[in-house]
Structure 1
């Protein structure tokens, strides 16, 4: 599961972290609001255990 959160939104970042999400990427200046640039933080939660993909062929 992936969440895209405005980087200054500490409450949302903390909430997602408390639910097990981890930061996977940050993108600077992806948009503007009220005359200021906004950065975007992506967080990810692994929903199940990953296994090796099946061999092709």
Structure 2
């Protein structure tokens, strides 16, 4: 659908280094909510566009 296509390309329009982009955790099959909770954080799905957004990232080192 049109909305999904927009969302797939939205990040690329605002990224100054699109060649360095990596897929999100969800795209790699990671259950982000479960991972965040296992790390000891409280997280719930937003129910309103006015709620505070909390971002989580994952850094993998070799």
Q: Same fold (TM over 0.5)?
A: no
Structure holding more helix per residue: 2
TM-score range, shorter chain: under 0.3
Structure holding more strand per residue: 1
Q: Which has the higher contact order (CA 8 A, sep 6+)?
A: 1
**How does the TM-score come out when normalised to structure 1?**
0.26
**How does the TM-score come out when normalised to structure 2?**
0.24
